[in-house]
Amino acid sequence: MSTLPPEPAVPSSLSERSSRVVLGVSGLQTAVATPQGRKIVVDGLSFDLHEGETICVAGESGSGKSMTALSIMGLLPEPMAKVVGGSIHLEGRDLTTLPEAEMRTIRGSEIAMIFQEPMTSLNPVLTIGRQVREAVLAHEPLSRREADARALEALKAVRLSEPERRMTQYPHELSGGMRQRVMIAMALACHPKVLIADEPTTALDVTIQAQILQLMRDLQKETGTAIILITHDMGVVAEMADRVIVMQHGKIVEDNLVRPLFAAPEAAYTEELLAAVPKLGALAGVDPVNAHAGTAAAAKVLEVDDLTVRFDLRGGVLNRVVSRVHAVEGISFDLHRGETLGLVGESGCGKSTIGKALMNLVPWEGSIRVCGEHVLRARTAAGDRAYRRNLQMVFQDPYASLDPRMTVGDLVGEPLVIHGLASGQELQDRVAGLFRRVGLTPDQMKRHPHEFSGGQRQRICIARALALSPKAIIADESVSALDVSVQAQVLDLLKELQDELGLAYLFISHDMTVVEQVSHRVAVMYLGQIVEIGTRRQIFENPQHPYTRRLMSAVPIPDPARRRAVFDVPQGEIPSPVVPIGESVSRVRYQDVGAGHLVAVA
């Protein structure tokens, strides 16, 4: 891994920051309506935000972080939620007393917000250029031509590749990292005094996350914008914060400068959060142990040979195939009983497509064997049922994976019903046993998915995957959206089940620290191909491929004393996997072409 450049100065006292307060929050109370009556979700919150300062608000889901942001922005869905106490002063004006018409003039021009999921924040039927232009025209008396010029300038400021072409594209045509940059461009187009970023990098890969964080740093230096960064990633906190506010159950449990907070946290809850953070390199020199290795039962449960997945793209008057998306190209690997193979890479590299191909959910070529039996590409209901008893999948979003109309008990028992393995009281007993195995209680079986937290819903999905006693589980970004403490609980559960049942995991993730924590072997993907595969120690302690080293150099370091002045990350977007008909893609080697990118060469 590359040597860290000199760290930037991190303020150690209030006197080292600007003394001008741009946003003052005092005694803020926000309440929501529930069937049991009014509930206070933000209770007595107070802080001052100075010009050019970055405050990170940290805490688990449900601690009140996002509700605080929505309260400041005046975006609470009244009357279901509203500010019931305290004040929010933006340069002397109390935002809680302003009418909505006046708040609309302030939002975007003086205080702006970047939301967690850009795809749900961008209008899918409007071009990128029109959406950024509308944000400008809403606050400044410019002509359409001038607004378009300002929009283009904003897209260039966030270093979006080919900004002129992006102006004419729609949100679905951009990658996640590109969409997030568009959101930042819209937020900064009118040069706001305060920028609120609500989990802006949670769903992004480490290299794209590093680009976004570096971009926010650079823009802050240029404009002096004060930033409130909401996150549960303590690595991001260490890299970005001047000051940290830790929230729990709607209240501030600690408010401190970043270095003292990490060095000697005052609150027990802060200490728990920091203890749960996985650290890259924490397992250096430690060989992963497979409790089932070396036994006769430690056979191959999954064998993949020359797996290829391509999607046709049609165009022209005759709607012919003009190009193909080379999503997966010639992938081969094995997975043994009791083993975890971590699969890492950026979005679009083909990780999730491999998982879908193994589950026979997309067309594929090559050879897949589960417990020695070939998986047939021509899908039949009977064939799918036969091999899926041995291979199950846990998806990234547990809420989207569970039918909201069914009780969780019925959801977990459904595979047993489909395969004709249990009914009546036996079914109820087996489902109750699965609930206990994943740390839930049988009395929760009659509830619906919306009545559980994110971590509990992921446990329900794991219970459902275990119902058929599979030999292997594909975990596709199964903990990426969870808070660090909940994430640690789910990872511990997966490890316990592996040791007890001999499960094999294909663990798909973009989080290098989590992959290091759980994996016996690691495969690194780039543009549909595995560029490096080896044991955990080989990959993390002696990476050979330049792309692997780039991935690890982009991981945030949860230690403000080692904060980097500049992230060592690639610039721009990764090359496209779309190849015109008639051209081929090499499966052999890659060439570093600069700017952090590699291309396939013959």
Which tens digits make up the pLDDT trace of 169-207? 998 888 666 788 888 888 888 888 999 998 887 767 777
Q: How confident is the model at residue 600 (pLDDT cuts 50, 70, 90)?
A: very low
CATH number at residue 328: 3.40.50.300
List, for residues 300-343, the tens digit of each pLDDT value.
999 999 999 998 888 878 888 888 888 899 999 999 999 999 99
Same domain membership, residue 213 and residue 137: no
Note whether residue 157 is domain-resident.
yes
What backbone torsions phi and psi does residue 352 show, to the nearest 5 degrees? Answer: -65, -30
pLDDT at position 589 over 50: no
Same domain membership, residue 185 and residue 207: no
Same domain membership, residue 579 and residue 517: yes
Can you tell me whether residue 296 is helix, strand or coil? coil
Residue 122 near residue 131, CB atoms below 8 Å: yes
Residue 115 near residue 107, CB atoms below 8 Å: no
Same domain membership, residue 128 and residue 168: yes
Entry pTM: 0.79
Note whether residue 42 is domain-resident.
yes
Average pLDDT taken over every residue of the chain: 84
> Quick one: pLDDT at residue 596?
47
pLDDT at position 2 over 70: no
Which of 190, 209, 240 is where one domain is finished? 190
Exposure string for 257-293, b = 16+ CB within 10 A, e = fewer? bbbebbeebebebbeebbebbbebeebeeeebebebe
Q: What is the dihedral of CA 299, 301, 306, 308, to 10 degrees?
A: -170
Determine the Cα–Cα distance for residues 41 and 67; give it in Å rounded to an integer.
8
pLDDT at position 595 over 70: no
Which of 211, 246, 277 is where one domain is finished? 277
- How far is the CA of 543 from the CAs of 2, 4, 209, in angstroms? 11, 17, 21
Same domain membership, residue 299 and residue 262: no
> Quick one: pLDDT at residue 574?
56
Same domain membership, residue 148 and residue 67: no
Same domain membership, residue 325 and residue 197: no
pLDDT at position 344 over 80: yes
What backbone torsions phi and psi does residue 592 show, to the nearest 5 degrees? Answer: -75, 120
> Among 14-18, 369-373, 436-440, whose mean pLDDT is lowest?
14-18
**Residues 597-602: what's their mean pLDDT?**
46
**Residues 69-95: what's their mean pLDDT?**
91
> Among 88-102, 175-189, 440-454, whose mean pLDDT is lowest?
175-189
Residues in Cβ contact with 227 at an 8 Å cutoff, skipping those fewer than 6 apart: 53, 54, 55, 194, 195, 196, 197, 216, 220, 240
- Which domain, by its residues, includes 153? 123-190
Give kind and range of the element (H or E) at residue 164.
Answer: helix 163-166
List, for residues 487-524, the tens digit of each pLDDT value.
888 888 889 899 988 999 999 988 888 899 999 999 99
End-to-end CA, the chain: 28
**Structure tokens, 446:** 């009659």
Percentage of residues of the chain with pLDDT beyond 90: 42
pLDDT at position 4 over 50: no
- How far is the CA of 239 from the CAs of 55, 246, 247, 352, 570, in angstroms? 12, 16, 19, 29, 18
Note whether residue 584 is domain-resident.
yes
Determine the Cα–Cα distance for residues 78 and 171; give it in Å rounded to an integer.
29
412 Ramachandran zone, left/alpha/beta (phi>0; psi -120 to 50): alpha
List, for residues 105-154, the tens digit of each pLDDT value.
899 889 999 887 777 788 999 999 999 999 899 888 889 999 999 999 88
Same domain membership, residue 383 and residue 298: yes
pLDDT at position 229 over 50: yes
Q: With 0-12 CB in 10 A as exposed, 13-18 as middle and 19+ as buried, what is 504? A: buried
**Structure tokens, 369:** 């064997």
Same domain membership, residue 186 and residue 139: yes
> Among 177-191, 216-230, 401-415, whose mean pLDDT is lowest?
177-191
User: Bridge partners of 56?
Assistant: 229, 244
Note whether residue 33 is domain-resident.
yes
Note whether residue 50 is domain-resident.
yes
Same domain membership, residue 220 and residue 91: yes
Q: How confident is the model at residue 593 (pLDDT cuts 50, 70, 90)?
A: very low
Percentage of residues of the chain with pLDDT beyond 70: 89
Which of 277, 312, 331 is where one domain is finished? 277
**Structure tokens, 545:** 């491929």
What backbone torsions phi and psi does residue 358 show, to the nearest 5 degrees? Answer: -65, -30
Note whether residue 163 is domain-resident.
yes
User: Bridge partners of 600?
Assistant: 590
Note whether residue 237 is domain-resident.
yes
Tell me the pairing of strands 81-90 and 21-34.
antiparallel
Number of structural domains found in the chain: 3
Same domain membership, residue 82 and residue 27: yes
Helix spans in 338-407 (H): 351-358, 381-388, 398-401
Determine the Cα–Cα distance for residues 130 and 141; give it in Å rounded to an integer.
16
Beta strands in 289-364 (DSSP E): 300-315, 320-336, 340-344
pLDDT at position 557 over 50: yes
Q: Which residue has the tokens 């929760």?
A: 444
Amino acid at 107: R
Note whether residue 282 is domain-resident.
no
Same domain membership, residue 29 and residue 13: yes
Q: How confident is the model at residue 3 (pLDDT cuts 50, 70, 90)?
A: very low
Tell me the pairing of strands 340-344 and 504-508.
parallel
pLDDT at position 427 over 80: yes
Determine the Cα–Cα distance for residues 116 and 65; give it in Å rounded to an integer.
12
List, for residues 252-276, the tens digit of each pLDDT value.
999 999 999 999 999 999 998 888 8
Determine the Cα–Cα distance for residues 458 and 512; give it in Å rounded to an integer.
20
Using alpha carbons, select from 123, 85, 93, 116 the residue that is nearest to residue 193: 93
